[in-house]
Every structure is written in C-alpha cells, then in structure tokens.
Structure 1
Amino acid sequence: MTEELAQGQMTLVGLSERDLPALDQAEFSDRGPILLLVHTRDINKIVKQYGNDPRIVQIIEAESPDLPASEGTRLIREMIQSGRIRDAEIWLHSDLKPLRFMAKVKTPDLPHTYPLYRQLRHFGFETICYRGPRWSVEIEPFPMLEQFVDRHKGERCFVVGNGPSLNKIDMSLLKNEITFGSNRVFLGFEKWGFEFTYWGMEDRLQVEEYFGEYEEGLSDSIPKFVPFDYVDYAKLPNACYFPLMYGNGRVFPDGISFPAFSNSPGMLYHGFTITYSLIEIAALMGCSEIYLIGVDHNYGLGAKKLSMSRAGGNDSTWSAADAGVATHFDTRYTTQNKKFVKPRPINAEVSYACSRQWCGMNGVEIRNATPGSHLDVYEMVPYEDLF
C-alpha cells in the first residue's frame, strides 16, 4: 500500500460497530484502499477480525473531538494535510427504512452515525457521502451545535411553548429578546409583529407529516434545530441537525439513565417535549436566565388519552376533537383534523426536574412565567415583572 498512499489514493471510511457487516457486502468489495475509522468499544476485536483485509490500510478508533487527540486522530490529520486522504464516506450495512408515520417514505438510518459524522466534520470534510447496499446520499454541510456554544453567554432568553396562555400576555414585549419557539409558533409572528430568534422541532409525527407547513411558514433567515435523524428528509435552510438521544423513559441507548440533561454539542437528551431540548440548546448557548412562557402543561385530554400506550399504535395520537379545552394559542394550529402524538406529562415533568437540578448546579436561573401554568417544577414569576 505504500505507493498508493504516496499517490493519495485513500478514502477515509467511517463505520459504527453495528455496520461492520458492510465490509462483507458485495457493494463494497472493490472499494479500497481505505483507512477505517470505527466507532466501537473494543477496537482490538475489530483489528483482529478485519486487520488482514487487503482493502484496509489501517484501522483507527473513532473518538470525540472534545477529547485530547489520540495518536490515531493525529495520524489522520497528517494524512489529510499531506493529501493522502482526500475524501470521506460513512458506510451502512442496512437498507433504507420507512419513516415511522409515513411508511411509504424511506430514508437512511443515520442517528447512530452522528459521532462519526461529527468527527469527519471536525477533520474538515464538508459534504459527506453515506453509502449503503444499493443506495447512497450526500449530506451537504450545515451549521453544527458547536457553532452555537456560548453565543449568548450571560444573556437571558425566553423558551416559548404554544399554549393558549400566550393570548393572555403582551407578546410584543419579546421583540428584542432572545426567543426560542417550536412547531407552528410561526402562526403568531404576523400578529405579534416579529419573528423568533430560533425555532426547533423534534416530534416525529410533526416532522414527517407536516414538514411542508414548516418549510412554508418559516423564513430562511431563522436558525432552525431539527434532529439529525431527519437530515436527509427535512431539508430546511439555515438548519442545524442536532444529535438527539431518544429514550424509553427508563434508559437511553448509550446506557445513561433517564432523565438526563446535556449542554454538550456532542449529544442532547430527549425529555418528551421539544421545550426540553430548547432548554438544553439555550444552556449550550450560555444563557444564564431562561424563562418559560406558553408552557401551559394542560392538555385537557383526560386520563385515557394520556395513558402511556406505545407510540405508533392506533391510540397513540390525538386531534382537537379529543381535547376538552383549548390546547394551543391559535385555532389554526389544530384545524383540518391535524394529528398529534399524545403528550407524556409525567415523563416531561421528570425531565424538567432534571433540567432544574442541572441549571441550579451550573449557575443558570430557570423560571416559569406562564400565567396559569400547570407545570410547578420551576419557580413561578409574573411575566410582566420581567420588563
């Protein structure tokens, strides 16, 4: 391989441990030489298994860019700088999979590859090609969470839910504040006279079935936060596709017990509501005061509709007809029989308590300024007293 290395004919290939079977698939049999970057807990096992593969020049363990560079990482950087590595790919052994709520649409299963994607971006690669059996997609560069770290250090912000209580307060007071909104919050922009600073979504049903509404309702200039799961589906201008670890209410796939809070650009944790993720992002941006408004935490669905049924089943969604009270600040939010995944208020409250503890330990003040809110996890404060 020495001559080929000198000629710069090497591709840096990222593989997670679960995708190692790709090396044995016919689609990849003639691709080489490659330097293999593996996300694994046992690199010695991988070297023993694939170390004699003639396509592979070297096998290096992937690592977080947040850690001091290992010898392997330094070697890759040297090869990139010398031109011996000119492109990078990530291989998957699985076929495209159907979306959860739109089974006819199939996309790559990408969330578990984010640590590899992130490291490749830190190496300086922009457009990164994903390859699987009989498919390939190119992921164009997007702003990553790293670009938002400490952007608003020491400043205050407002994380805005979409509850009907927004109609009880003077929203124009927020025009010059840092604001985080979600989902169909744009329905209020014209009435309030301004757009929010940031916007996000993460509910799988809302992303998959109603993505077109968000694409049409949001201006290109607003920075948007969307889970990396949908980087090849929900293509929005100025979007940051952030890593979100979904859990089952007991433990997360990485072994961390539920609940968990993170202000790290490497991974955020799901808290059963987009509001929780926006709190994490606000903390990542360095906000020292976080105020919640529009977080009514009152769904009027009754115990049956709020039961902890399995998502994806026939009883896992609700519409406006199921609610006994107004659920959002604008009737257009729920018209045309729009569907929603049932809220999990108990899980969300446990998550909120986790965020309160993290903020308390890290010098961040978080309060609820929602009039009439049913969420009592945070200290309440009158909205008008903040101005």
Structure 2
Amino acid sequence: MRLVHVNAADADLAAAWLRDAPGGDPPLLVCDAADAPIAAGLALRHGLEHAVLPDAPDRPEALRLRPLLGRVSPEAVVIAEPSRMVMVFKEGEEQPAWNDRFPAVRVMHALGARRFRFLGRVHDLSVEIPMLLDGFRNRHAGQRAFVVGNGPSLRNIDMGKLRGEICLGSNRSFMGYGDWGMAFPYWAISDRLQIEMYREEYEAGMDAASIKFVPFEYLGFLRMPNQVPVPMPSEVEAGEHLLTFPQFGETPAMLFNSFTVTIVLIQIAAMMGCNPIVLVGVDHSYPIARVRRRGQDEADPNPTAHIPPAELQRRTRLGFDFWEGNAAQGPTHFTNAYTTNRIFVPPRTAWSEVCYSYCRAWGEAHGVEVVNATPGTQLDSFPTVNFESLF
C-alpha cells in the first residue's frame, strides 16, 4: 500500500495527481489533522481510504496506525508545493525545501516508507531516506562517545587511541582519515557556506560507510550514501533567538545549529544515549588575519571572537562576512590543507559560548556528563580532563 500525503493548501495538485495516477493497488491518502476534511473529500471522490497522521511517530495517537505496519510500500508520495530557499552563498540560486513536511515524513518512515517523491507544481524530487534520527535514539546508551572538532590540537595527540571508539566528526574531518587510520562512524555538517560552495568536495571526500547527518532543507542537494536528513534551523534567520533562548534537541524532530556544528554533534551523541560525551579537537581559538564584510575588510581583525552578542548583532549579520583561509595568522585546523584556497563564515565564539554553556546546563539536568579533553582549549564551558588519562 503506497502512502500519498495531501494537504489543504495544495488540494488542486492532489486532485490532478489522483486523476492521472496509474492503476494498480490503490493508495492510502494520509494527511495532517488540520487537513482531514480535504483528505476525506478527496478519498470519497476517488474511492480511496484515508488516515490522519500524528505530528510524530511516538505520539500515543500513532497507535491507530499500527494495522498499517507491514503493509506500507517503500515508496511514498508527498504532494505539496515547496517553499523557496534562497541560497545564501550561491548568488541567484534557489533550492526547493519541504521542511514543513518533515513531521509527516517521520511518521511515514516509521511505517516503512524509504523512497519519497516530493511533487510540486514545478519541482519533482525523488530521494532515498534510508535512515532518520529516530533510528539512533539510545543506540549507544551508557557508552562513551568522542565529539571530535577539527582544531590544530589534533596534531599533538595520538588519534590512533580513538580507533574503536564512538566518534562523531564534522566538515572536512575526512582529510585526516588517511593519517589516523580510521574514518569516524558518525559525521555531520550544518554550515550553509560549506554545503553550498563545496558540495562536490564533500560528496567526493566522505567515507561511504559513515552515517551522515545533514540539514533536511538541503534534501536532494547533497548526494552522499547513508545520509540522515534532520531539520536544523538556519542561523541566518534564527541567530538572535537562539541567544535569548538557547535550545537543545531532545527529540529526533530537530537539532539546533547554535553557531557551531560541534553543538549539533553533542546533541546527536546525547540522542544516542552516550554518556560521557568527551570533546577533543575543540580548541575554540582562531588566529584569523581578517574578516571581510560584503567584500570589504573589517577594521577589527575578528570582531566575532570577543564583541558581546548584542553589539555584534548591530555590526554584522550572518551570511554577509567571511574569512580567507590563506590569510590565517597561525594554524586553525588539524592540517593546513583544510583551509587552503577556502573561505569560511567567521566563528561566532562569543555567541557559541552562550550555547555551549547551555549544553552543560542541559547535561547536568539530565545526568549526561560532557567534558573537554582538548589540550590547550580556550573553551571553558565544560570541565577539562587530560586526554591521555582517558585510556
């Protein structure tokens, strides 16, 4: 039985698709609770069954769908006009985004759907979604995990000690896999500049077997095996809101960027039930030569490193400034090749510290220990431990 998700706003699209749909096993129309009357009308007109989806697969009302288990086809259709996501770092380009359909995708995925076809008036996207974050909940309950940053301190420790450990890495961590003799089993990316400007590099460089957590809004844009799409609200729009009310992803419904992918990794490790969570390679220090804003040099070499968030909000906005890797005044990552001929959004250290401290508070409230084993780290939000003492 194929699931076909419909909604009131795009009822005309659903009616046209149902009119022209090929014969065979009749689909089951599904919808959100608010759209139940429209779905019921479409089902009656076309002689189909319909069902209302809860907003998450772990809601008690999801039990009503239990009879569908084992009957649902691997392919589902989502009939909805996507929103327009304007690329921040690719001028004039857009990406269709079906973020508002993620709750329905979660429920249909729990019922057995793995191939999704998203249909709008112009866009037609077919993607495989083999895994969602729901499937990783408590996967490593009570086990130690290492959240590995990409700082230069990794040059000074024996990375071989992490072989066999639960490791979560990010961004260009794959540049170290050859020297370290291992690939991290888990990896994530959240930086819009990195995704939009260097997509091909990530697609070519990533280890195929690694589980890759990527923003759901880039569904169909990044093409790598073993992707796990998760909504990660963009800091371009939500930056100041995260500062006034930091958040921590406690359910598989959403993760929060919080100005650094490292915090995304901490949330994933916590979701997996890992305890303790050990940070390594999180130097939190960036000897950046200059920041350019809208193509012009900023008088302050790196205003994002120390200016209070309230003042920084008035001076610069995410997405409009960057720093050049070739102009760094010292090592910024575990290999110089990481930054050669690349540009980056400046690290929001003053902003991320607010969210790191919230991570610590969340961990203490939930019995999850987060410690920092980075030699020489400048991040004081977590208790520090000696890396060598852990082995």
C-alpha separation in 2, matches of 1:362 and 1:134: 46
SS at match of 2:18: coil
The TM-score, its normalising length taken from structure 1, stands at 0.82
| Alignment partner, residue 139 of structure 1 | 127
Map 1:237-276 → 2, pairs under 5 A? 237-247=225-235, 248-251=238-241, 258-276=245-263
Selected match of 2:5 from 3, 6, 14: 14
| Alignment partner, residue 297 of structure 1 | 284
| Alignment partner, residue 108 of structure 1 | 96
C-alpha separation in 2, matches of 1:384 and 1:80: 48
C-alpha separation in 2, matches of 1:215 and 1:381: 35
Selected match of 1:362 from 363, 366, 370: 366
Selected match of 2:378 from 371, 374, 379: 374
Contact 1:178 1:197 in 2 (8 A): yes
C-alpha separation in 2, matches of 1:264 and 1:88: 24
| Alignment partner, residue 312 of structure 1 | 319
Selected match of 2:155 from 163, 167, 188: 167
Cα root mean square deviation, aligned: 3.0
Give per-residue Cα distances to partners, 1:75-102, cap 9 Å, x unaligned: x55468778x996321222476543322
Contact 1:202 1:226 in 2 (8 A): yes
Distance 1:189 1:30, change over 3 A: closer
| Alignment partner, residue 297 of structure 2 | none
Deviation at 1:58, TM superposition (A): 5.2
C-alpha separation in 1, matches of 2:107 and 2:194: 30
| Alignment partner, residue 4 of structure 1 | none
Contact 2:11 2:38 in 1 (8 A): no
Contact 2:187 2:212 in 1 (8 A): yes
Deviation at 1:59, TM superposition (A): 7.0
Query: Which structure 2 residue ranges, 5 or more long, are not aligned?
Result: 20-25, 289-300, 306-311
Distance 1:303 1:64, change over 3 A: same
Distance 1:257 1:140, change over 3 A: farther
Deviation at 1:258, TM superposition (A): 2.8
Contact 1:65 1:119 in 2 (8 A): yes
Counterpart check, 1:345 vs 2:349: yes
Distance 1:134 1:221, change over 3 A: same
C-alpha separation in 1, matches of 2:225 and 2:74: 27
Give per-residue Cα distances to partners, 1:31-80, cap 9 Å, x unaligned: 3598654446xx2xx5567865646965735421111125xx62x55468
Contact 1:319 1:340 in 2 (8 A): yes
Instruction: Give me the identity figure in percent.
Output: 36
Point out 4+ residue stretches in structure 1 off by more than 6 angstroms.
48-51, 79-83
The TM-score, its normalising length taken from structure 2, stands at 0.81
Deviation at 1:135, TM superposition (A): 2.2
Map 1:1-387 → 2, pairs under 5 A? 12-15=3-6, 20-24=8-12, 28-29=15-16, 31=18, 37-39=30-32, 43=34, 46=35, 54=45, 60=52, 62-69=54-61, 74=64, 78=67, 88-94=76-82, 97-103=85-91, 105-247=93-235, 248-251=238-241, 258-301=245-288, 302-304=301-303, 307-308=312-313, 309-313=316-320, 316-336=321-341, 338-387=342-391
Distance 1:95 1:200, change over 3 A: closer
Distance 1:386 1:58, change over 3 A: closer
What amino acid is aligned across from residue 202 of structure 1 in structure 2? S
Distance 1:141 1:61, change over 3 A: closer
